[in-house]
Amino acid sequence: MIATLLFLLGSAADPLALGASRIELDIDGVKLEVYAHKPKDWDGERMLMVFHGVNRNADEYRDHAVGMGERFHMLVVAPRFDAERFPSRAYQRGGILKEDGTAADAKDWTYAYVPKIARAIREREAKPGMKHWLIGHSAGGQFCVRMAAFQDTGAERIVAANAGSALFPARDAEFGYGFGKLPEVLSSDDVLKRYLAAPLTLYLGTADDHEDEWLDTSAPAMAQGPGRLQRNRAAFAAGEALAREKGWPFAWRKVEALGVGHDHEKMFDHEQAGVALFGIPEKSAKKP
């Protein structure tokens, strides 16, 4: 009761409208567009944050995630990270490094916006106990998988779908592909251990196994495999092997959507989406 009252007092905006909406959030002085969808029978318990691909089309990602919102009774929230302020260094790679390659302050990471966005939505909805899940596809999958390594998001599960390159839990590949050339504070064994213990799902379309116009074909990326499927399968196997070798907890999950290529809409609509998010078949993941 007290927590809810505090959230109400701290909120300067009305709750989100039913159905589709667009709002602007001020996060520490940075204005972000956020596209949302609230199911008509939403009970206030679950939020799904959706992260767009390289086209920065958060509105379309929101639209294509409506099915998940309706199926799983989740408020869909899709923030837009524009290319002007958030180029690949700051989006796909989270802004953990400055333009000169030195470490950025953790408060300045793009990843740091995520728990703040979640809190802002909770405040608007006066739902301090609302749990949240994260899902990103393609460039958004890269954002999610690297975020799992460095940021405490507070999420129940972080789903990286069809990420174009994988973050291997190793220091023999440069950052973006591994933890090489990062400062010790971002690449120590403690960091790797936390990464393997993160609630991360690699959600993979089994037909996303070949080169296309968007695939990273740089040498370090191709060393991971010829397609997104192979790269992420290899990263999962590497994480599992390292955890076993070190005796560390391993909380990752690998879920595959049979026959799906590099298509976020089909990945979101697939019955395996419920397994990716909740670890159980979709029928069980649905709320009555």
* β 75-79/253-257 pair status: unpaired
Question: Residue 1: which pLDDT band, with cuts at 50, 70 and 90?
Answer: very low
* pLDDT computed for residue 10 by the predictor: 40
For residue 24, the 8-state DSSP code is E
Tokens 């909805």 map to which residue?
Answer: 125
Q: Radius of gyration of the chain from Cα atoms?
A: 18
Q: Are the C-beta atoms of 115 and 134 separated by less than 8 Å?
A: no
For residue 16, the 8-state DSSP code is P
pLDDT at residue 7 tops 70 = no
Q: Are the C-beta atoms of 145 and 166 separated by less than 8 Å?
A: yes
* pLDDT computed for residue 12 by the predictor: 54
For residue 178, the 8-state DSSP code is B
* pLDDT computed for residue 280 by the predictor: 85
Mean pLDDT of the chain: 94
Using CA atoms, how far residue 203 sits from 38, 144, 175, in Å, is 24, 11, 22
Is residue 126 helix, strand or coil? coil
Segment 104-122, tens digit of pLDDT: 999 999 999 999 999 999 9
What's the whole-number mean pLDDT along residues 178-207? 97
Question: Residue 281: which pLDDT band, with cuts at 50, 70 and 90?
Answer: confident
Question: Residue 283: which pLDDT band, with cuts at 50, 70 and 90?
Answer: low
Distance between CA atoms of residues 68 and 286, nearest Å: 10
Domains of the chain: 2-285 (3.40.50.1820)
Segment 220-237, tens digit of pLDDT: 999 999 999 999 999 999
Looking at the chain, the whole-number percentage of residues with pLDDT higher than 90 is 92
Nearest alpha carbon to residue 53 among 88, 89, 98: 88
Segment 15-48, tens digit of pLDDT: 999 999 999 999 999 999 999 999 999 999 999 9
pTM for the model stands at 0.93
